[in-house]
Structure 1
Amino acid sequence: MKIIIITQEDAFVVPKNIEKITRLKGVEILKVVDIDSDYSLVNKKSYFIKGFGIFQTVKMGIKVASAKALNILDSLTQYKLDIVPKSLKAVSNRYNISFEQIKNPNDPKFLEQIKSLEPDLIVSYSAPVVFKKALLEIPKHGCINLHCSLLPHYAGVMPSFWTLYKKEKYTGATVHYMDSKIDNGKILNQKKIDIANDETMFSLILKSKEIGGNLMCETIQGIQNSNLNIKENLVENGSYFTWPTVEQFQEFTKNGGRLI
């Protein structure tokens, strides 16, 4: 099965999840695509500073800087340190996968390029752009996405923040088919995830993406074996959230919530 991965930059879990896919039998990753859009989390630094304050944002920045330093060290030693890659480019380089950073996956030139690769499946890890019909129809088995909530609940943006903001006791990870609406397609796999009393937004993101990465591998194998338990995504019974306001971030921290 030939796969293209379309996602946004992540220094912590997505590279590890891509690495897991490389170990699946009968799977070839043709390309890893980083969408560098205005809606990518890495481009929201000022937004987080205003919402969470300098101290919390700097702590997060130190984590990211440390990850970048490990990437450089690992590449200088020709990957002999056996460090889990800490960026999309690092994991692509390690496994000799084509890597590209783009703004818009719906661009006609990009679509022609993807068509020429003839992928069986496109895998998204919370890609920050809606896939339009022309892109959705390219792969033989469609496009699937990991969303870190228990769909149809907490669809949309930043589910890890919203579940903590609403003081939920659990959340989830869901792999679903993609269509031209956000988090709207049929559900292929999902798992409930308990939220700890001391959970931070960062720890919950790590937990849900890690579990979601395992679900993604199970789902890919299910597609390979034609062994899927597809469920309707009853969006009318769920909930949808957009970007939090700075005031909501501030309210979250005032009530004891933490970014990291």
Structure 2
Amino acid sequence: MNIVFFTQEDPFYVKIFFDEFFENFKTVAEIKAIVISQPMGKKSALSLARQMYEFYGLFDFVRMGLIYSYVKLMGKRRIQPPDTGPIPKTHTIKQLARAYGLDVIERSDLNSRVFQQLIRQYDPDLFISVASPVIFKEDLIKIPKLECINIHNAPLPRYRGMLPSFWQLYHGEKEAGITIHRINSGIDTGDIITQHYLTIEPDETLNGLIIKTKREGAKLMIEAIEAFRKGGVQYKKMKRGGSYFSFPTRRDVKEFKRRGKKIV
């Protein structure tokens, strides 16, 4: 089976998913490439920084900024797959992919003919989106022979959209969901392949919940891939309705904290 991942270079959380995935996935040779797109779509660096400042507040923004700067610096190191022995320490998804000898494609024009001609060369069976910031259009969705799937850290159809872990905490949920589903022309509306639930602890922070769901999500994705390999995928129709949330505003974050919740 030929698999292509689609993601973004997020040093805080998405990298945790891939660390967990590659540590436990036994047939890495099936992963042909990782496509890395610009974070948060077409936002400028200044616009993205302003949004993160409003979300984290001064103290946590500075702390996360220092971590980000360190990762960017260490991410410039060239990583080669070892001939023998363990995989070297990596700081970015790009480095991790290189460490396993995978092709890295850094593009955001995923719906263009040029990109689609390129990706067809891998003869893909399965496309997997993990926090890809690009909305897939029909021509891209149809390329893989088996399926085009996405993982979303919420119990779909509830909490579609941006940063679902935040909104589940915001609304006082007792459990957080993880859903792997078929990608269609809508946003988080495709048929469900599998769902899993995790307990939200009373003192759970957003940071802690995201880390927990990324690790569990990686394990769930391995199970989903195995189901595709065996031809045993059973789809469940996505229910109508549900809910959709955008990225939290400053007012949302203020109310989140007023309710006794913590970001970090």
1:92 aligned counterpart, secondary structure: helix
State the partner residue of 1:14. 17
For 1:199, the aligned partner's letter is: E
Alignment of 1:76-115 (within 5 A): 82=87, 85-115=90-120
Unmatched tracts of structure 1, length 5 or more: none
Indicate which of 48, 52, 60 corresponds to 2:52: 48
Question: Paired residues, what number?
Answer: 258
Indicate which of 33, 40, 43 corresponds to 1:31: 33
What whole-Å deviation, never above 9, does each CA across 1:94-134 have from its counterpart, x for those lacking one? 01111021123112210111122210110111211210000
State the partner residue of 2:231. 226
Provide the identity percentage. 31
Distance 1:80 1:59 in 2: 34
State the partner residue of 1:250. 254
* C-alpha displacement of 1:18: 4.6
Distance 1:64 1:161 in 2: 21
Distance 2:44 2:68 in 1: 10
Distance 1:40 1:166 in 2: 29
* Cα pair distance change 1:142/1:86, threshold 3 Å: same
- Contact map agreement 1:149 1:159 (CA 8 A) in 2: yes
* Cα pair distance change 1:80/1:45, threshold 3 Å: farther
Q: More deviation in 157-166 or 60-69?
A: 60-69
- Contact map agreement 1:8 1:40 (CA 8 A) in 2: no
State the partner residue of 2:156. 151
Distance 1:93 1:69 in 2: 17
What CA RMSD, in Å, does the superposition of the two structures yield over aligned residues?
2.7
* Cα pair distance change 1:39/1:166, threshold 3 Å: farther
Distance 2:256 2:36 in 1: 30
Please, what TM-score do these two structures have when normalized by structure 2? 0.87
* Cα pair distance change 1:21/1:220, threshold 3 Å: farther
State the partner residue of 2:189. 184
Distance 1:232 1:98 in 2: 34
- Contact map agreement 1:52 1:253 (CA 8 A) in 2: no
Indicate which of 172, 178, 184 corresponds to 1:173: 178
Unmatched tracts of structure 2, length 5 or more: none
For 2:61, the aligned partner's letter is: T
2:57 aligned counterpart, secondary structure: helix
Please, what TM-score do these two structures have when normalized by structure 1? 0.88
For 2:186, the aligned partner's letter is: K
Distance 2:21 2:49 in 1: 25
For 1:57, the aligned partner's letter is: F
* Cα pair distance change 1:96/1:41, threshold 3 Å: farther
